[in-house]
Amino acid sequence: MVLIPLVLILAAALAAAFFYVSKIISTLPSGRAEDYLKTKEHENKKIIACIGDSLTHGNIGQSWVDYLREEFPNYVFLNEGINGNTAWQVLQRLNPILECKPALIILMIGTNDALGSFDRDSGLRYKKNNNLPEVPTLEKYKEQLPKLIDKIAIQSKVAICTLPPIGENMDSEVNKHVNEFNDYIELVATHKKISLLTVSDALWSDINSRTYSLKFEYNPKAIPLLRRIFGGIFQHYLFKISWNDIAKAKGQWILFDQIHLNERGAEIVYKVVKNFISKS
């Protein structure tokens, strides 16, 4: 008889934890274009739009956009990173961003396209969870990225970032797949005559200085993936453990869950972008 209440308590605790983490994931970033259009508080300041997915959003892992806001307090940084977004989804939500007339746009998009096109199950999962018209593929990304750049480059200067690694084994199949996306990003940057920010190179360079052994390879299966993401979020927000320490416990250097940036990784991205902004 005692076991039943204990089971119910455990089930309730797990449900509460799931709800708590899900709420964090679904929370939009602060300082989006829609917020700016409503307030117009900084209309005389230079506007820089940072567009992307969860790596830009920065509540699953550390936010490099927040670092930029601290570094350049006289600029307005629009955080237009949305958790889970693919290139197709970004294309659907450009209007408010363009309405703000940003002087500069920093674009880092394609990690979810790479994740969703890496294996069949991941692709079907992305299509269902994100209400996509089709499963992500490299071919579709090659159609969507030029369209995206053409739309945002009409009135703004654009810099595009290469994609961070997935997992920290340079020779893994998933990072060979990511390299195909990065090769295309470099090609498009050259063809469209926009600035290329080599975020990938900077991150790999720092990974090479890792002071402990890599423990795990990237696993795309849904349950291990959710366990890594949800577990890391729970540890960080509930127990106030740093993203760096969560990553270290799992043998990771810049990615706390093999996908999202810890403080170390976000600082590297921030420095790459900061150097570009300082010269612009």
pLDDT digits (tens, 9 = 90+) for 78-110: 999 999 999 999 999 999 999 999 999 999 999
Is residue 207 included in any domain, yes or no? no
Residue 113 located in a structural domain: yes
For residues 103-132, one letter each, b for 16 or more C-beta atoms within 10 angstroms of the residue's C-beta and e for the rest, the string is bbbbbbbbbbbbbbbbeeebbebbbeeeeb
| Residue 197 and residue 162 in contact, taking contact as beta carbons nearer than 8 Å | yes
Residue 188: inside a domain: yes
What is the CATH classification number for the domain harbouring 32?
3.40.50.1110
Q: What is the pLDDT of residue 13?
A: 63
Q: Is residue 67 part of a domain?
A: yes
Tell me what the pLDDT averaged over the chain comes to. 94
How far apart (Å, rounded) are the C-alpha atoms in residues 276 and 29? Answer: 23
- Decide if 196 is inside a domain: yes
Radius of gyration of the chain (CA): 19
Do 175 and 268 contact (CB within 8 A), yes or no? Answer: no
Given this model, what pLDDT does residue 3 score? Answer: 55
Asked if residue 139 belongs to a domain, the reply is yes
Q: How many domains are contained in the chain?
A: 1
Question: In the prediction, which pLDDT does 26 show?
Answer: 86
Quick check: 50 and 79 in contact, CB under 8 A? yes
Q: How high is the pLDDT of residue 41?
A: 63
Query: Which amino acid type is present at position 13?
Result: A
C-alpha–C-alpha distance, residues 152 and 133, integer Å = 22
pLDDT at 1: 45
pLDDT of residue 248: 97
pLDDT for the residue 18 = 72
Q: How far apart are CA 246 and CA 257, in angstroms?
A: 8
H or E segment to which residue 171 belongs: none
Residue 77: give the domain boundaries.
3-201+213-279
Please, are residues 233 and 240 in contact by the beta-carbon 8 Å criterion? no
Residue range 181-218, pLDDT digits in tens: 999 999 999 999 999 999 999 999 999 999 999 999 99
The residue ranges of the chain whose pLDDT is under 70 are 1-4, 9-11, 13-14, 17, 40-43
Q: Is the pTM of this model over 0.85?
A: yes
* Residue 54, in any domain of the structure: yes
Q: Which of 249, 244, 250, 248 is nearest to 263 (CA)?
A: 244
CB atoms within 10 A of CB 273: 24
The β-bridge partners of 105 are 49, 158
Is residue 208 a part of any domain in this protein? no
